[in-house]
Structure 1
Amino acid sequence: MPSSSRQSHRDNGSTLKWPAQISPAELAPPSEAQAHRFGAGRARNDNKPAWEPTIQPPYPWASNMRAKVLSLEELISKNIIVISGDVHCMECKKQFQIEYDFPSKFYDVVSFLVNGNDNMHDVIKDCKLCGRRKCVQPVISGKKRETNWLFLFLGQMIGYCNLAHLKYFCKHNNLPTSEAKDPLVKLAYTALHCQLDQKAYDLYNQ
């Protein structure tokens, strides 16, 4: 959850850069053969279910790989143009859904990312139920695999994730996990942009 000062997650004068050692190919889900090898290589605990390399996608726009979303092409081919997620009002204590038009919201967020705009911060929304201003926050599942990453990306709310969720995301995207929270938030935005459009990788390394 963001600090009370709600500072920007973008350092002044900085631009988002992808770690040089990470290639776009590493963001792609492993092949079926690789997935089986990953699962087979883990130590088994007879008291726990075997670790599975894939999961049941928690949302129509999520991949069956942890912390991955479908690409632009896949979303378009499936006619997925509305992305929704649960939010909670801190004033009236009620929960409701927010929907985003994916194409328009995607390009709004990307424009902030690629231009290094200092306004890339956690957006605090108004409550449509009680009318109070700047009191709505996303509902983030305690189960990390069920995090609604695309909804958080489009709503500019990734900063509401705690450090454990951010490290989980980076771990499953082959990204450094030893950073402080703000750099991990930046990596999450960048990685999600590249998952949606692999051509985006070049934008961060010009």
Structure 2
Amino acid sequence: MEDERLVLTLSIRRPKPEPEPEPQPPRPPSPKNLPPPNHVPNHVPRPIRNRANPRQAPRGLKPIEIPAPFDWATTRRASIHSLQYLLSAGIKRISGEVQCKRCEGRYVIEYDLKTSFMEIGSFIRANHGLMHDRAPKHWLSPTPLDCRICRQSQCVKPIIALKKQKINWLFLFLGHMLGCCTLEQLKYFCKHTKNHRTGAKDRVLYLTYLGLCKQLDHTGL
């Protein structure tokens, strides 16, 4: 009996504990489960776009409206108020700056708005058919004024702003001095008044005179 107990005692042993498995690193997601490159999660709010202001030009373009450079000019490029508006506002004389090429003196001269406009309008109505859409010679090459400072003759010309949006169009028009503008400046006027702007200078100058006449009085021509 004692031998059987001994054998039984020896045969009953506690099993050794199995070692715990080492933790495995997480597997990367399968390419099939990855979201597309341009995927936007539903919970990400989209930026709110501001409504475009109709008075503002798109980015990269010049603004539609500008500060009025003169009392007789509007806030649009190459645009002036009508004759009726100016007279009702008490604007009866148009001024501009000139300079003598000899003494280099600078001063301001004025033109009577209504009188000067009627003079140009009458000339255009009387000679419209003879001009053949071309500016006459005295428009194309205006005679310089006499200097009030040094008293020299034919040596004074208008001072034309380098920045086109600041050109005093009405002053040059009333003084028959639009021909002192360069072809590029005249094309600028025609561009912003939606006029044909190709061709020689006498052609573009003619359109500039007509354009300003129509801005002052669209029923006159």
What's the RMSD between the two structures over aligned residues?
1.9
Local SS of the residue matching 2:81 = coil
Rg (Cα) greater in structure: 2
* Structure 1: gaps (5+ residues): 1-34
Q: Does 1:149 align with 2:160?
A: no
1:45-84 Cα shifts (integer Å, max 9, x gaps): 4xxxx63211111010111110011101110111000100
Is the CA contact 1:88–1:95 (under 8 Å) kept in the aligned structure 2?
yes
Counterpart for residue 191 of structure 1 = 211
Alignment size in residue pairs: 161
Report the Cα distance in structure 1 between the residues aligned to 2:62 and 2:197, rounded to whole angstroms.
Answer: 21
Local SS of the residue matching 1:87 = strand
Letter matched to residue 146 of structure 1: K
Report the Cα distance in structure 1 between the residues aligned to 2:190 and 2:54, rounded to whole angstroms.
Answer: 21
Letter matched to residue 177 of structure 1: R
Q: Does 1:100 align with 2:72?
A: no
Please list every run of at least 4 consecutive aligned residues from structure 1 whose deviation after the TM superposition is greater than 3 angstroms. 35-40, 117-120
Q: So what's the TM-score if we normalise by structure 1? A: 0.73
1:79-138 Cα shifts (integer Å, max 9, x gaps): 000100010101111111111111111111222222128574224211111111111101
Counterpart for residue 159 of structure 1 = 179
Report the Cα distance in structure 2 between the residues aligned to 1:107 and 1:123, rounded to whole angstroms.
Answer: 20
Counterpart for residue 175 of structure 1 = 195
CA drift of 1:37 comes to 3.9
Is the CA contact 2:56–2:65 (under 8 Å) kept in the aligned structure 1?
no
Letter matched to residue 202 of structure 2: D
Is the CA contact 1:170–1:177 (under 8 Å) kept in the aligned structure 2?
yes
